[in-house]
């Protein structure tokens, strides 16, 4: 039973990155950055965040990013790459991965933790399997299937992909050195995310009207929008399809109706995974706007819509490790979709809170008639 739950929990958790550091400089007020062209603006924000981190530490830098994203929708859309950057610079600032991660928080999809692991692996002249095995230990304060440990393992996948110059197969093989299936799949998710996100950054950096091409990764293909998932062995497919719609949408210029068509090409159980991935991307694209999520998920048909909402509510919660935004999305849905939405909230609070009472407290914020659907998952383990 425990093994089945760990597999379910991984699906709950799986779901961009500014690589490299900039030299310290004089502080640049965020309002000055805000008026600049996109690429220059993101570099400006990076410099500002680095300056705050070097002067005050990672926690104030994370607070500064929260303030920036509250004022700039483009920065909010790019918050995960920016928080990765904070994590990378935190490793340089504090000197060790455990110390740097102790100064991170679960905001913006917990990218600070991911960035620390990226920087740690990049600091090694050569990476061997024995280097990664002790990085994400279980302890008295970190349980085996906790959100904190997931973030470490997911960040490891990011770091391996960068270290091996976007050789996805080699990176996945290193994830395979981890001892448990939950650990390995958490790592796989970081590999696939890093592969896609860096490609997306290259696309955004192209001049207007540029063609879809990239030099960073050979593991995406505009002629087969489901590649590499379409050719990988079964053990990698769940993690792959949980990220693949991010690539699909980039190639399709965010034509969400056509993205549903692409997911319909996926065979077997992973088709559901693809629709949930699309829900996550719709959540991110709309900046977690419940009304827009309702509109775009309904471009699908039948069960596609339900799975899209499930993927979206997970993203609403995991963005800042807070169930309240997910509950708000559930309230906005109509009858046929509410129950599964609240049940998904119940799944999500398990890795967030070890305390069953705290999980139950979160569920009881839901609407009358749906609290039990949330509690059934939240308190089952």
Q: For 134-164, how does the pLDDT look when each residue is reduced to its tens digit (9 = 90+)?
A: 999 998 888 999 998 999 999 999 999 988 9
pTM confidence score: 0.84
What 3-state DSSP class applies to 356?
Answer: helix
8-state DSSP, 236: G
**Widest Cα–Cα separation across the chain:** 57
The ranges assigned to domains in the chain are 1-220
Task: Provide the pLDDT for residue 2.
Answer: 44
Cβ–Cβ < 8 Å for 324, 365: yes
Query: Is the peptide bond prior to 228 cis by the omega test (within 30 degrees of 0)?
Result: yes
36: phi then psi, degrees, rounded to nearest 5: -90, 160
Q: Report percent pLDDT > 70 for the chain.
A: 90
8-state DSSP, 162: H
Mean pLDDT score across all residues of the chain: 90
- 196 pLDDT exceeds 80? yes
| Locus of tokens 């596609």 | 304
Q: Report percent pLDDT > 90 for the chain.
A: 78
Is the pLDDT higher at 268 or at 12? 268
| Locus of tokens 């089945």 | 4
29: phi then psi, degrees, rounded to nearest 5: -60, 135
* DSSP letters for 76-103: HHTHHHHHHHHHHHHHHHHSSHHHHHHT
- 1 pLDDT exceeds 50? no
What 3-state DSSP class applies to 35?
Answer: coil
- 219 pLDDT exceeds 80? yes
Average pLDDT over residues 255-284: 98
- 324 pLDDT exceeds 60? yes
pLDDT in tens, 61-106: 999 999 999 999 999 999 999 999 999 999 999 999 999 999 999 8
Angstrom distance (rounded) from CA 200 to CA 198: 5
């Amino acid at each position: 039973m425990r093994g089945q739950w760990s597999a379910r929990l991984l699906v709950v958790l799986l779901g961009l990155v500014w690589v490299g550091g900039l030299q310290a400089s004089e502080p640049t007020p965020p309002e000055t950055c805000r008026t600049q062209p996109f690429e220059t603006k993101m570099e400006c924000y990076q410099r500002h965040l680095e300056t705050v981190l070097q002067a005050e530490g990672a926690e104030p830098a994370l607070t500064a990013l929260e303030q920036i994203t509250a004022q700039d929708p483009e920065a909010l859309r790019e918050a995960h790459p920016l928080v990765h950057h904070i994590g990378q610079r935190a490793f340089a600032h504090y000197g060790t991965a455990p110390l740097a991660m102790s100064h991170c928080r679960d905001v913006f999809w917990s990218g600070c933790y991911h960035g620390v692991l990226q920087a740690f692996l990049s600091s090694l002249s050569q990476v061997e399997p024995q280097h990664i095995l002790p990085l994400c230990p279980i302890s008295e304060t970190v349980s085996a299937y906790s959100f904190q440990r997931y973030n470490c393992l997911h960040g490891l996948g990011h770091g391996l992909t960068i270290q091996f110059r976007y050789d996805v197969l080699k990176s996945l093989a290193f994830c395979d050195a981890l001892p448990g299936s939950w650990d390995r799949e958490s790592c796989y998710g970081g590999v696939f995310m890093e592969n896609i996100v860096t490609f997306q950054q290259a696309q955004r950096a192209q001049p207007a009207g540029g063609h879809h091409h990239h030099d960073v990764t050979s593991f995406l293909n505009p002629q087969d929008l489901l590649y590499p998932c379409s050719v990988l062995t079964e053990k990698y497919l769940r993690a792959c399809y949980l990220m693949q719609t991010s690539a699909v949408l980039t190639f399709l210029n965010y034509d969400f109706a056509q993205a549903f068509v692409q997911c319909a090409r996926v065979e077997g159980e992973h088709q559901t995974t693809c629709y949930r991935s699309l829900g996550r991307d719709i959540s991110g694209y709309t900046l977690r706007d419940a009304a827009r999520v309702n509109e775009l998920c309904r471009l699908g048909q039948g069960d596609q819509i339900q799975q899209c909402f499930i993927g979206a509510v997970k993203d609403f919660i995991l963005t800042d490790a807070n169930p309240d935004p997910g509950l708000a999305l559930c309230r906005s849905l109509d009858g046929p979709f509410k129950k599964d939405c609240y049940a998904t909230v119940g799944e999500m609070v398990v890795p967030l809170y070890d305390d069953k009472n705290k999980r139950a407290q979160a569920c009881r914020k839901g609407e009358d008639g749906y609290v039990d659907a949330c509690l059934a998952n939240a308190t089952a383990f």
